[in-house]
């Protein structure tokens, strides 16, 4: 299942316009804030895919029946670019535990790289719902490698992938290697360039949020 928030007009388009704009995105504080705000909206959409149970709450006047999430999802982000979105998700899923995986591109030649997963911190994921977050779903390889890495801590019952921008190629890759995962994204872009950056995309999400790395 794919949910693309850009298929309908909403305030998300305003945040995306700012986050993609090469002048506005130079304001790192605004960039992070927009990433955070979009993550919150994605979290709200993800909440519709979870299971609920009815709970009785006592108000000052009487009892009220409310439906609450019956199994908190685990929020799992790919470092470092996923960190801001992670906070946006935790803002809504405030009882969730977290997992983190590092994945970086180790370049051997221009345009050629392998993805290295080095660090992981995760609770037991067996039979849990896991929300896997990476702002830029470019080739899809980091996402799949991160998924394989976290499965060492138990195989989730359900995986929901959340991204800011997904490439069409990345979506095809995920559908092929993680066919049961559902995907939610704020936008889908057509191309990848020779360096596997999403086009038109926004550039390097991690650098824009946290500064240029060596």
* Stretch of 30-38, 39-47, 70-78, 201-209 contacting ligand URA, by CB under 6 A: 201-209
Site membership for ligand URA, residue 84 (CB under 6 A)? no
Q: Which is nearer to ligand URA, 97 or 204 (CB)?
A: 204
* Stretch of 11-19, 24-32, 61-69, 195-203 contacting ligand URA, by CB under 6 A: 195-203
CB of 74 to ligand URA, least distance (A): 23
Binding track, positions 126-155, relative to ligand URA; x by CB under 6 A:
----------x-x-----------------
d(CA 202, CA 182): 23
CB of 136 to ligand URA, least distance (A): 4
Site membership for ligand URA, residue 206 (CB under 6 A)? yes
- From candidates 21, 45, 97, 204, binder to ligand URA by CB under 6 A: 204
Site membership for ligand URA, residue 81 (CB under 6 A)? yes
SS3 146: helix
CB-based contacts of 214: which residues, under 8 Å, 6+ apart? none
Count of CB atoms within 10 A of residue 74's CB?
Answer: 23
d(CA 107, CA 85): 26
CB-based contacts of 184: which residues, under 8 Å, 6+ apart? 2, 3, 5, 42, 45, 46, 160, 161, 162, 163
d(CA 122, CA 31): 28
In the complex, the residues that contact ligand URA under the rule CB under 6 A are: 81, 136, 138, 197-198, 201, 204-206
């Amino acid at each position: 299942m794919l949910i693309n928030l850009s298929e309908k007009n909403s305030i998300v388009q305003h945040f995306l316009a700012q986050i993609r704009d090469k002048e506005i995105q130079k304001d790192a504080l605004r960039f992070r804030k927009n990433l955070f705000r979009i993550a919150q909206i994605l979290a709200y959409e993800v909440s519709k895919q979870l299971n609920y149970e009815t709970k009785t709450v006592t108000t000052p006047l009487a009892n009220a029946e409310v439906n609450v999430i019956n199994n908190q999802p685990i929020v799992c982000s790919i470092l470092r670019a996923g960190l801001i979105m992670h906070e946006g998700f935790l803002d809504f899923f405030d009882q969730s535990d977290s997992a983190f995986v590092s994945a970086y591109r180790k370049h051997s030649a221009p345009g050629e790289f392998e993805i290295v997963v080095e660090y992981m911190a995760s609770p037991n994921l067996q039979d849990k719902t896991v929300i896997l977050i990476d702002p830029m779903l470019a080739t899809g390889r980091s996402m799949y490698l991160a998924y394989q890495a976290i499965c060492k801590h138990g195989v989730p019952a359900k995986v929901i992938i959340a991204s800011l921008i997904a490439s069409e190629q990345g979506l095809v890759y995920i559908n092929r290697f993680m066919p049961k995962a559902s995907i939610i994204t704020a936008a889908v872009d057509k191309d990848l360039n020779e360096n596997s950056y999403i086009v038109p995309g926004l550039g390097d999400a991690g650098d824009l949020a946290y500064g240029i790395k060596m």
